[in-house]
Amino acid sequence: MVEKLQAEWDNDLFTQVQQQFENAAQKLSLDENIFNRLRVPDKALLVSVPFRLDDGSIRVVSGYRVHHNDTLGPYKGGIRYHEKVNLGEVAALAMLMTWKCALVNLPLGGAKGGIQIDPNPLSRNEIQRMTRRFTSEINNFIGPDVDIPAPDMGTNEQVMAWMMDTYSQIHGYAIPEIVTGKPVIIGGSLGRSKATGRGVVYCILEALKAMHQTLDTQTTVAIQGYGNVGSAAAEELAGLGARVFAVSDVTTGIYHEEGLDLNKVQSWIQKNRFLEGFPEAQSISNEELLQLQVKILIPAAAEDVITKEIAQNLKCEMIAEGANGPITLEADKVINDREDIFVIPDVLANAGGVIVSYFEWIQGLQNFFWKEVEVNQRMNEIISHAFQTIYQFSQDKKVTMRMAALMLGIDKISRAMLTRGFFPG
């Protein structure tokens, strides 16, 4: 019997992730008991986060942390600061993290969390006070052997440093392994800051190889979202010879028909924070960027940006999902029906971040740290092997790359749950 989902999960992204899970479960003929257990998270925590603003007043915002499944190991997932964060969104992202970790063979489960706030207007001190209070509120929900947070949209290594320090102060001694994605000086891993973007590129290289193509100066790229993931992917691709035609952020998109000078773009951002006003390129909207005629499109911003209407007008040959859930269900059907666009799904394309987060976690537990070349090489090996496995499965079963990835990840979780059995029996 399939129980009706609780109303508090109602959210477009959660509905999308649920539908993807149900489609994959049907193809797998998944055990009904496993199905009912995996379609909702293990636990969810909603907290109020009061913090003091610089003017002395107190602001109260909502914070969340969701645990989806820990059959394979401790919960793992990012913390995002964004005004649209809600319970449904973090529940959906926690579920995706479960499949992602299983897919790339990490001994971790899926979690996600965040605060419902736009961090951009806040001062550094306000963000620090908010972060420390949020950490204290979820203190009993996280732990280095229980749930290990990491940065996500709207957060960074400094936020992770504050989380690590707050947790350590509460427990009375330094516990660097409580978070990943923190600065190297306090136990972070070399290569972590660019890991997600670099992983996207490793997937692209494997996809080109599968298509019997190579990356060169004729390889044109557009990237929606020039944050941590998008900028790292752009830098890596440009270094390999590709031409990045367009990038965008929340303010605008910029386009140059001969390719952008990324050094100048980066210098502009360092001085002005946003892309808006960049003088050496044409200004375009995010929607226009998505519909440019390029070989590779990387949506690396937020979910649901490629709608059914945009999908019908896509002119790219490949989509590498740097963001989680950037393609709506309706758009996914359009793209699948077109059969002229190769999609590298989010659960694989952006797995580089959690892979190197895993590396950081085990380096911290062992107090033994690796060189950056070792980190990158080991991530490349994991990503490449996962891609090849998924691609072969998709060819054998005649399913999309997304469906192949979901089926493989869910099947592994299912087999592990059946092996462990049901408690209390």
Q: Where are the domains of the chain?
A: 42-186, 195-349
Specify the pLDDT at position 257: 87
- Indicate which residue of 112, 182, 194, 295 is catalytic: 112
Distance CA 22, CA 27 (A): 9
Q: Confirm if 363 and 339 have CB atoms less than 8 A apart.
A: no
* Cβ count near 190 (within 10 Å): 19
**347 closest CA partner among 319, 323, 330:** 323
Which CATH number applies to 42-186: 3.40.50.10860, 3.90.45.10, 3.40.640.10, 3.30.1330.40?
A: 3.40.50.10860
Specify the pLDDT at position 299: 95
- pLDDT tens series, the chain, 425 aa: 444 545 566 778 898 899 999 999 999 999 999 999 999 999 999 999 999 999 999 999 999 999 999 999 999 999 999 999 999 999 999 999 999 999 999 999 999 999 999 999 999 999 999 999 999 999 999 999 999 999 999 999 999 999 999 999 999 999 999 999 999 999 999 999 999 999 999 999 999 999 999 998 889 999 999 988 999 999 999 999 999 999 998 889 999 988 999 999 999 999 998 898 999 889 999 999 999 999 999 999 888 899 999 999 999 999 999 998 899 999 999 999 988 999 999 999 999 999 999 999 999 999 999 999 999 999 999 999 999 999 999 999 999 999 999 999 999 999 999 999 988 87
To the query of whether residue 112 is one of the catalytic residues in this protein, the response is yes
Specify the pLDDT at position 8: 64
Q: How far apart are the first and last CA of the chain?
A: 20
DSSP H or E run through 406 = helix 401-420
The model's pTM: 0.92
Matching CATH topology for 42-186 and 195-349?
A: yes
Q: Is 87 helix (H, G, I), strand (E, B) or coil?
A: helix
**23 closest CA partner among 349, 350, 329, 304:** 329
Which CATH number applies to 195-349: 3.60.70.12, 3.40.50.720, 3.40.190.10, 3.30.2290.10?
A: 3.40.50.720
Specify the pLDDT at position 281: 87
Which residues make Cβ contacts (< 8 Å) with residue 5, sequence separation at least 6?
A: 18, 39, 40
Specify the pLDDT at position 343: 97
Report the sign of the C-alpha dihedral through residues 306, 308, 312, 318, in that order: positive
Tokens of 415: 């087999």
Specify the pLDDT at position 1: 45
